Structure 1
Amino acid sequence: MRSLKVLFLFFTLASVSAQDLQTAKPENLWHNFTYDMGNVFGGVGYAYSRPFHWQGNDWANAGLLTGGTLLLFVVDDEINDWTNGFSEDVPDLIKDYGHEYGSPENNYMLTGGVYLAGLFTKNEKLRRTGVLLISSATAGGFLQQVSKRIIGRARPKSGDSSGTFDPLHLNRVYNYDSFPSGHAMLAFSNAYAIAKQFKSPWVKAGIYTVGLIPGFVRIVDDFHWFSDVAFSTVLSIFIVESIDRYLDAKYDEKYNQDTKKLSWNLSFGPQTLGVAIRF
């Protein structure tokens, strides 16, 4: 009788184990790749849909971004005159890096490399980082390409003032596609996403500084106005934060659990106006 009980228990455990094996998801390369690419497109869609779900603080942040951009717009010509005064002093190495790193081709080489490294080493954290990089670049890149054609703002190198526009073109009109800055958006999206992997504020600051170089170079070489770059940099933060929240529900690795949400503090005082961004 005892042997029958043992035999019954053995078959029960074997049946449960077999059931688990049948229902378990196949953790192979192709499965991970298709799952990640689905999250890339899901993240882009999630970022684009956020304005339909905004609440009070979100609208306040959008208002501050718009208002800050308009304030910078007023002084764009003066800032451009100032940067022209030292543009020749910027080392060629910095300029070359700024122009090349923010280009879409080199951007996707970097983001794709990070993702493939995570995929082939079966490192979920690295895979997730790659997905965040690719989806953020895709969301920001498509948005800025459409915006350039709609807005049609003159570049500084066109010789026109910052208030000159030639809007609503299906095809790209060179020298009238200044706003926003694609180089600044792609470069700082990468920097902000990569910096999320580290807790040290000094490491983060170093990565952010590297990510700001392309935007700076595009200003001093008369490809963009200061307001173009400032708007694009802050918008890239919004996009990365939005997609990262989406990915929290898709991956077990959550490297940003202790990261505070982006916050703005607007302070007024006698002859003082200050905006502090904490991220």
Structure 2
Amino acid sequence: MLFDKEKGPNKETETFKNLVLVFIVVFWSIGAQAQMKDQSDSLQTGRWELFKYDMGNVFGGIVHSYSRPLHWKGEEWMTLGAVVAGTGLIYLFDEQVSQFAIRQQGGVPDFVNYYGARVGSPTYNYMFTGGVYVTGLLIKDERTRRLGVLLLASASSAGLLQQVVKSMVGRARPEYGNGKDTFDPFNTNRSFHSFPSGHTILAFTNAHAIAKQFKDPWLKTGIYVIGSVPGATRLWEGQHWLTDIALGVAISIFMVESIDGYLDSKYDDKFNGKEKGVSWNIGFGFGQIRISGRF
């Protein structure tokens, strides 16, 4: 139980609040340092003008992400093929993985489940992403503003796509006792909105966009681990199959990379310079399938 009616939030809830506070401090520090390094034209531009420019880029980034498949070439189609093949291979083991994960739920700390459920929800997601953007706007820092634009555009683009796909596919959630092969397209009941995982998409979209701010591999790994928690919680809660989560991660990476490339032409600050792009590798071993991505 997360709340006591008489005493208020318990330690798990306080831990979640502390995590949110840490993120706010980190982003404020990033913005403050960048502002000290670059007192450029944006400092002389009014906030309303900056806001209009940034919101135009949010919309432009969304449109750009949806139009990119029209411009794909060999490498991009190979990446798509790897994602489809990897998802198909995982599909073979969906039921076994789901049963195993659900059995582990009792040993998961409450604050982890609380964090996963809240961070992956649209309400908390836009509170966080909006907070990052507003911080950048208030201090007139281009890097933080750009990060906010990337977060908002990526979450909106990926979020809308997953809602459409969920409705069209109509896959049943594991918790209702249906097998992995149960589909009822365009069923409005949330019980048939399993594929892909919305919580995973929103959380991992944020993680990938934030990780692009740093080059240290250990720091990036930590960010990705935190961003993977909501997807894991949905797995052991029986809300999603492993393929729902895997495709959610792939959609997140695609949207962030696509919109980040678009924003390169709109802002002077480039995240990690030319270190962009995504590559996938699928390997097979005795009794195992290994799918890895380099980004």
TM-score by length of 2: 0.82
Q: Equivalent of 1:108, from 98, 102, 126?
A: 126
Partner amino acid, structure 1, of 2:196: P
Partner of residue 278, structure 1 = 294
Offset, 1:259: 1.7
Partner of residue 186, structure 2 = 168
Partner of residue 238, structure 2 = 222
Partner of residue 140, structure 2 = 122
In 1, the alpha carbon distance for the partners of 2:271 and 2:118 equals 29
Offset, 1:272: 7.8
Offset, 1:72: 1.1
| Matched residue SS, 1:175 | helix
Partner of residue 144, structure 1 = 162
Partner of residue 68, structure 1 = 86
In 2, the alpha carbon distance for the partners of 1:70 and 1:45 equals 28
- 8 A Cα contact 2:257 2:276, kept in partner: no
CA 243–158 in structure 1, closer or farther in 2 if over 3 Å, else same: same
Correspondence 1:80 to 2:72: no
In 2, the alpha carbon distance for the partners of 1:39 and 1:30 equals 14
Structure 2 matches for 1:1-279, cutoff 5 A? Answer: 27-169=45-187, 172-267=188-283, 274-279=290-295
In 2, the alpha carbon distance for the partners of 1:115 and 1:239 equals 18
In 1, the alpha carbon distance for the partners of 2:234 and 2:245 equals 8
Query: How many residues matched?
Result: 254
In 2, the alpha carbon distance for the partners of 1:165 and 1:215 equals 21
In 1, the alpha carbon distance for the partners of 2:104 and 2:71 equals 44
Q: Which moved more, 1:266-275 or 1:231-240?
A: 266-275
Partner of residue 12, structure 2 = none
Partner amino acid, structure 1, of 2:194: S
In 2, the alpha carbon distance for the partners of 1:96 and 1:42 equals 34
Identical-pair percentage: 49
CA 166–248 in structure 1, closer or farther in 2 if over 3 Å, else same: same
Partner amino acid, structure 2, of 1:174: R
In 2, the alpha carbon distance for the partners of 1:233 and 1:202 equals 20
Partner amino acid, structure 2, of 1:202: W
Which of structures 1 and 2 has the bigger CA Rg?
1
Q: Which moved more, 1:185-194 or 1:268-277?
A: 268-277
Q: Deviations 1:19-53 (Å, cap 9, x if unpaired)?
A: xxxxx9x7111110000000001000000001101
Partner amino acid, structure 2, of 1:245: G
- 8 A Cα contact 1:149 1:173, kept in partner: no
CA RMSD of aligned residues (A): 1.9
In 2, the alpha carbon distance for the partners of 1:269 and 1:185 equals 28
Partner of residue 3, structure 1 = none
Partner of residue 15, structure 1 = none
CA 225–46 in structure 1, closer or farther in 2 if over 3 Å, else same: same
In 1, the alpha carbon distance for the partners of 2:178 and 2:294 equals 35
CA 202–270 in structure 1, closer or farther in 2 if over 3 Å, else same: closer
Offset, 1:270: 8.7
Q: Deviations 1:107-157 (Å, cap 9, x if unpaired)?
A: 000000000000010000000000000000000100011111100000011
Offset, 1:168: 2.5
TM-score by length of 1: 0.87
- 8 A Cα contact 2:103 2:236, kept in partner: no
In 1, the alpha carbon distance for the partners of 2:288 and 2:96 equals 21
In 1, the alpha carbon distance for the partners of 2:287 and 2:113 equals 37
